[in-house]
Amino acid sequence: MTKRAIIAGAGLAGLSAAFHLKKSGIEPLTFEQNNFPGGLSASFIKNGFVFDFTGHYFHFKNAYAKDLVFGLLGGKLNEIKRRASVRAGNEIIDYPFQDNFSQLKDRTVVSACEKGLKERKPRENYGSFKEWILGEYGKGIAENFMLPYNEKMWQFDLDAMLYLGTTAYTPSQKNDPKKKGYNASFYYPSAGGAGEAAKALAPLAGEIRFGSRICSINASARSVTVNDNIVFEYGRLISTMPLTELIAMIPSAPGAVKQAAASLKYTSVFALNLGIKREGISDKHWIYFPDKTLPFYRVGFYSNAAKHLAPAGTTSLYAEVAYPGGTTLDREAAAAKIKEGLIRAGILEPKDVILAELPLDIPFAYVVYDLEYKKNTSLIFDYLCSKGIVSTGRYGGWAYSAMEDALLDGKNAAEDILDA
Ligand SMILES: Cc1cc2nc3c(=O)[nH]c(=O)nc-3n(C[C@H](O)[C@H](O)[C@H](O)COP(=O)(O)OP(=O)(O)OC[C@H]3O[C@@H](n4cnc5c(N)ncnc54)[C@H](O)[C@@H]3O)c2cc1C
């Protein structure tokens, strides 16, 4: 390879791609628009509190990824047994709802869920995510948890979504004899936040230029323009930026490809991180809120997952509000609504003192598997492949995936260009 391999983005996928290229003797050059590594897996310190982009916990299905993270962190990760709940009506029950609804005092809901389970008609294939929910869980569980929760989180018509992709992340009665769901325990660094993994990987990933935004790509000349003025030629390009943005940066992309990229659907999330001057606000790691009168779909307590994330005598938490991708949100109004909702939900008290507040907006948070997903993504990936561009990671690969997958995506992308 004569020209350098360029990587767009120093999140876990980009860092992993760079790390694996470097290990194979290739010196990559990574451009990252932020001034820090990690992308959505970064952590921030404010007034003594360590905050992530909401709960970022490691769940390992792959031994290589697990070894990589343990190696990067010198083995300093704790395994934590999940304590998650669902707030259904005014009651808090254990998560997953479908396995624990009998804890509810509201017997009408319990009977409806039991009846739905008896009457449900599971099938091999479903036309939509909504059909899948109704077929797998029955009407009672659907109406009392799965539908309102998923509508709130995805901000998308569930009948216009495919069920693939979310299946593996949704606890299912038949797949789960222990009734604990897919993530009964998780790993978290025993010092610092989730961002420790990216911080450890960055120095092993070759040259990274921070504060460097790739703003246009000449796919024929194989060059990128950075910060509007500097042009770099590449031998191969690995991009981890959102797929929609990548295509929008290639002026010569065919109209059909541009149209497909512009049609991709996604959900945005506004996260409010708070440090509160009161300890023991909850004993949970996170709570799901299907109730549409509350703005957030999930609230989590960082300091319950790792005490070192908050000063003594305090609690740190996050609340997540979803909004449709491509729209804008009044963040100040959203933060005010969240705080008011936290009081209404009985989590905060009006007299609570907020010691730290860190709002974080995530414009690309969840990729939506809409009914055109497969058609649009295959058209885009075929085009990128023809131009020698590898687009990978959670948003580059346009998939619902986790930190572990981002690390593996980066490794695979490095192998792809080494094999070519
Ligand atoms: C709300 C939420 C909760 C999550 N919780 C978990 C969890 O508990 N466990 C888990 O494993 N995963 C979780 N995830 C998923 C996890 O965040 C992702 O899988 C992972 O961070 C994806 O890494 P990535 O490198 O693919 O993308 P990113 O982290 O988005 O990295 C992409 C990088 O590219 C940079 N970039 C973009 N455009 C440009 C450009 N034009 N020029 C230069 N740089 C650019 C960005 O600044 C960024 O640093 C969660 C995600 C969300 C949204």
Nearest CA residue ID for atom 5, ligand 1: 56
Whether the per-residue pLDDT at 176 is higher than 60: the answer is no
Model pLDDT for residues 312-370, shown as the tens digit of each residue: 999 999 999 999 999 999 999 999 999 999 999 999 999 999 999 999 999 999 999 99
User: Is residue 300 in contact with ligand 1, taking CB distance under 6 Å?
Assistant: no
pLDDT of 33: 98
Q: Is 52 in the pocket of ligand 1 (CB under 6 A)?
A: no
pLDDT band with cut points at 50, 70 and 90 for residue 78? very high
Half-sphere exposure of 307 (CA within 13 A, CB side): 4
CA 288 to CA 152: how far, in whole Å?
11
pLDDT of 420 over the 80 cut? no
Per-residue pLDDT tens digits for 185-218: 999 999 999 999 999 999 999 999 999 999 999 9
**Entry pTM:** 0.96
296 lines ligand 1 (CB under 6 A): no
pLDDT at 164: 66
Mean pLDDT value across residues 385-413: 97
Residue 167: predicted pLDDT: 45
CB contact set of 416 (below 8 Å; sequence gap of 6+): 390
Query: 161-189 in b/e burial notation, b at 16+ Cβ within 10 A?
Result: bbbebbeeebbbbeeeeeebbeeeebbbb
Can you give the pLDDT at residue 182? 60
Q: Which helix (H) or strand (E) holds 332?
A: helix 331-344
**Peptide bond preceding 37: is omega within 30 degrees of 0, i.e. cis?**
no
CA distance 27 to 21: 7
Q: Do the Cβ atoms of 320 and 284 come closer than 8 Å?
A: no
Range with the poorest average pLDDT among 177-186, 263-272, 299-308: 177-186
Q: What is the atom index within ligand 1 of the atom nearest the CA of 56?
A: 8
Q: Calculate how far, in angstroms, residue 394's C-alpha sits from the geometric centre of ligand 1.
A: 6
At 392 the pLDDT is 98
Residue 228: predicted pLDDT: 78
How far, CA to CA in Å, does 162 sit from each of 132, 155, 166, 323, 345? 9, 14, 9, 19, 32
Q: Which residue carries 């490095």 as its tokens? A: 414
If phi over 0 gives left and psi between -120 and 50 gives alpha, with beta otherwise, what is residue 77?
Answer: beta
Q: Whose CA is nearest to atom 27 of ligand 1?
A: 11
The stretch 30-49 carries a mean pLDDT of: 98
What is the largest distance, in Å, between two alpha-carbon atoms of the chain? Answer: 70
Task: Report CA(40)–ligand 1 centroid distance (Å).
Answer: 4
Exposure letters 308-331 (e unless 16+ CB within 10 A, then b): ebbbeebbbbbbbbbbebeeebee
Q: Is 349 helix (H, G, I), strand (E, B) or coil?
A: coil
Domains along the chain with CATH numbers: 5-40+195-261+372-419 (3.50.50.60), 95-177 (no CATH), 266-367 (3.90.660.20)
- pLDDT-based confidence at residue 124 (cuts at 50, 70, 90): confident
Q: Which atom of ligand 1 is nearest to the CA of 55?
A: 8
For the segment 174-189, the average pLDDT, to the nearest whole number, is 69
Report the percent of the chain where pLDDT is more than 70: 95
First-to-last CA distance in the chain?
10
- Interatomic CA distance for residues 17 and 11, integer angstroms: 10
CA of 402 to the centre of ligand 1 (A): 9
Q: Which atom of ligand 1 is least distant from the CA of 34?
A: 47
Structure tokens at 303: 């300091």
In the predicted model, is pLDDT for residue 141 greater than 70?
yes
For residue 170, the model assigns a pLDDT of 44
Beta bridge partners of residue 179, listed in sequence order:
none
pLDDT the model gives residue 3: 77
Q: In whole numbers, what is the pLDDT of the chain averaged over residues?
A: 94
Q: Hey, how many other C-beta atoms are within 10 angstroms of the C-beta on 255?
A: 7
- Asked whether 133 and 142 are in contact (CB, 8 A), the reply is yes
Q: What is the pLDDT confidence band of residue 2, given thresholds at 50, 70 and 90?
A: low
pLDDT of residue 168 exceeding 90: no
Confidence of residue 177 (pLDDT cuts 50, 70, 90): very low
- Residue among 29, 35, 41 to mutate when testing ligand 1 (max atoms within 8 A of CB): 41
Residue 380 predicted with pLDDT over 50: yes
- The alpha carbon of residue 12 and the mean position of all alpha carbons in its chain are separated, in whole angstroms, by 12
Residue 174: pLDDT band by 50, 70, 90 thresholds?
A: very low
Contact by Cβ (8 Å): 295, 394: no
**Residue-level pLDDT at 419:** 82
For residue 299, what are its two tokens? 């609230």
pLDDT at 181: 58
Q: What is the pLDDT of residues 220-240, one digit of tens each?
A: 999 999 997 899 999 999 999
Would you state the structure tokens that stand for residue 312, as one six-digit string? 């003594």
Please work out whether the CB of residue 54 comes within 6 Å of at least one atom of ligand 1.
Answer: yes
Query: What's the rounded Cα separation, in Å, for the pair 56 and 42?
Result: 9
Distances (CA, A) of 168 to 121, 183, 215, 236, 249: 19, 11, 35, 33, 33
Tell me the C-alpha distance between 56 and 195, whole Å: 9
Ligand 1, residue 392: give the atom nearest the CA.
26
**What is the tens place of the pLDDT at every residue in 270-324?**
999 999 999 999 999 999 999 999 999 999 999 999 999 999 999 999 999 999 9
pLDDT on residue 1: 44
Distance between CA atoms of residues 292 and 270, nearest Å: 16
The CA distance from 2 to 231, in Å, is 17
